[in-house]
Amino acid sequence: RKEMGTVLQIQSIQVLSSQISGQVAEVTINLTTIYERGESVAEGIVVPLIKEEGEWKVDFWD
């Protein structure tokens, strides 16, 4: 996405589905962003989560 420039704004986040297995989960979202050239792009993303001290947190990618 470098060719599109910098993301200026997250326009929307829609949760499509979630799967929980013990202390880990995956949430599938539809993320719509607006780039500096005015283009709006929607893409599906799978976000891994981990439960720590009773709270769900993003398990960041490497």
Considering only CA atoms, which of 3, 15, 11, 14 is closest in space to residue 33?
Answer: 11
Measured at the CA of 6, the angle between CA 36 and CA 31, to 5 degrees, comes to: 90
Question: For the chain, what is the domain count?
Answer: 1
- Per-residue model confidence as pLDDT tens digits over 26-55: 999 999 999 988 899 999 999 999 999 999
Q: What is the pTM of this model?
A: 0.74
Identify the three-state secondary structure at position 37. Answer: coil
Domain of 27: which CATH number? 3.10.450.100
Name the residue range of residue 23's domain: 2-58
Chain mean pLDDT for the chain: 91
Instruction: Please check the confidence at residue 19 and state whether its pLDDT lies above 90.
Output: yes
Q: How many helices (H) and strands (E) does the chain have?
A: 0, 4
Identify the three-state secondary structure at position 61. Answer: coil
Confidence category of residue 56, pLDDT binned at 50, 70, 90: very high
